[in-house]
Structures are given as structure tokens and as C-alpha cells.
Amino acid sequence: MTTARLPKKELTGIYGKLVKVIGNKMVGAVPEPAEVMWHSPRVVKSLNTFGGKVRKWNDCDESLKTFAHMAVASLVGCSWCLDLNYFLAHTEGLDERKASQVPRWRESDVFTPLERDVLGYAEAMTQTPPTVTDEMVETLTAQLGAAAVVELTAAIGFANATTRGNNALGIESQGFSAACEFALSEPSRPEAANETLASNA
């Protein structure tokens, strides 16, 4: 049963048919955000077009961007994006065990120092107001280079747009990650991120 705050619409026309074909090929189903947002097909098309461009960027490691998107989704509370990105980590051959731990990354010991820096940066960008510091950017730039940091930052910004939009419209997980080997973890201490941010203030 859908929890969406707007009724889903049938995807129509040539582009609607294309969205169905691509969705079924990628994840085995029509993505619910497309159905809910089909009240304005041009918005769906614009978001998909930009999302496709984001996926083609290659200055920053794909694992880092996927983990960052999942961290944003976990913090915002977008189960749809969290579910989808974990599933994509599975289908694209990324480290599934690590991906499953993103919602509790602060308590997990599976991430490298660089990955933890990226996850912290993603959360800092997602806070309102953002809590990014000079040191965060300097540390990432020293490890990744300026081009990768720009790409990572833009990818996190896009993740904020999609997760917050899905959250506002009540779009929830379609269960894609049921195909993954490891169960997606739940944050063991939801307040941990805020405590850490406060201690760094």
C-alpha cells in the first residue's frame, strides 16, 4: 500500500514508456517517484536527465558517491533512496557489506578513514544549516583532489534534492534491496550524528 501524498499517475507517451523500460531493466519495477511526480512529466524528465549526467561523472570513486548518497538518505529519512542505492551497490559490484552499514557508519568499523571523511562530509552538507568546515574540505581535497571534491559535493547536493523531494511526497522503499546479501542496518544510535556535530562545533 502506497504512502505517497499524491496519487500515482500512469506514465504516458514516448518518454513515459521509456521510463518504464529503463526502470524495469535497472530495478525490475517502475520507480514510484516517477509515477507520483508524473503530474508534471517535464519535472520527471529534467530530474532523470540530470541524474543520468551525475551517474556519468568519473572524477570521484563511485563507491564514495554511493555511500554519500546513502548517508544523506539515512539522515533525511528517505527510505526509497536508501533502498535504491543499496540495491545499485549490489548490482554494480560495490562492497555490499560496507553499503549495508552506511546507516550506522559512525558505530561501524568497516569503513576506511577516507570513507568516514566522505560520510561525515555528506551529513554535514545535509544538516540545516550545513555544518561543513574548512578542515573537512581541506582534508578531502588532500586525499581526493579538487576535481573529485567538486564532483562529490555536487553529487551530495543532488542527493539532497531527491531525498528531500521523495520524503516530502511520502515516497517510501519499494523493497529493491531484498535482493542484497546483507540486511540493511538501522542506525543503532540515531542521535550519534548530532552529538558528534555538537562536539566539533
104 CB neighbour count, 10 Å cutoff:
17
Task: Report the distance separating Cα 45 and Cα 34, nearest Å.
Answer: 9
Q: What is the mean pLDDT of residues 68-92?
A: 96
pLDDT of residue 161: 98
Whether residues 16 and 85 share a domain: the answer is no
49 and 65 together in one domain? no
**Alpha-carbon distance 147 to 82, whole Å?**
26
Give yes or no for a contact between 152 and 60, defined as CB atoms under 8 angstroms apart: yes
Closest CA to 111 of 200, 55, 185, 58: 185
CA neighbours closer than 13 Å in the CB half-sphere of residue 61: 13
CB 46 within 8 A of CB 62: no
196 is a domain residue: no
Q: How far apart are CA 139 and CA 148, in angstroms?
A: 12
pLDDT tens-digit series, residues 126-170:
999 999 999 999 999 999 999 999 999 999 999 999 999 999 999
- Asked if residue 50 and residue 89 are part of one domain, the reply reads no
Q: Which pLDDT score, from 0 to 100, does residue 187 have?
A: 77
Count CB atoms within 10 A of the CB of residue 154: 15
In the chain, % of residues over pLDDT 90: 90
Residue 197 has a pLDDT of: 47
CA distances from 55 to 65, 91, 112 (A): 9, 14, 23
Identify whether 191 is part of a domain: no
pLDDT at 194 over 80: no
Number of domains in the chain: 2
Whether 111 is covered by a domain: the verdict is yes
Return the C-alpha cell found at 4.
505517497
* pLDDT for the residue 200: 44
Q: Would 200 be classed as within a structural domain?
A: no
Q: Same domain, yes or no, for 145 and 171?
A: yes
Domain extent at residue 136: 59-179
Question: Environment class of residue 112 by beta-carbon count within 10 Å: exposed (0-12), middle (13-18) or buried (19+)?
Answer: exposed
Q: Is the pLDDT of residue 198 over 90?
A: no
Q: What is the mean pLDDT of residues 65-91?
A: 96
Q: What secondary structure does DSSP assign to 29-94, as a single string?
A: S--HHHHHHTTSHHHHHHHHHHHHHHHH--SS-HHHHHHHHHHHHHHHT-HHHHHHHHHHHHHTT-
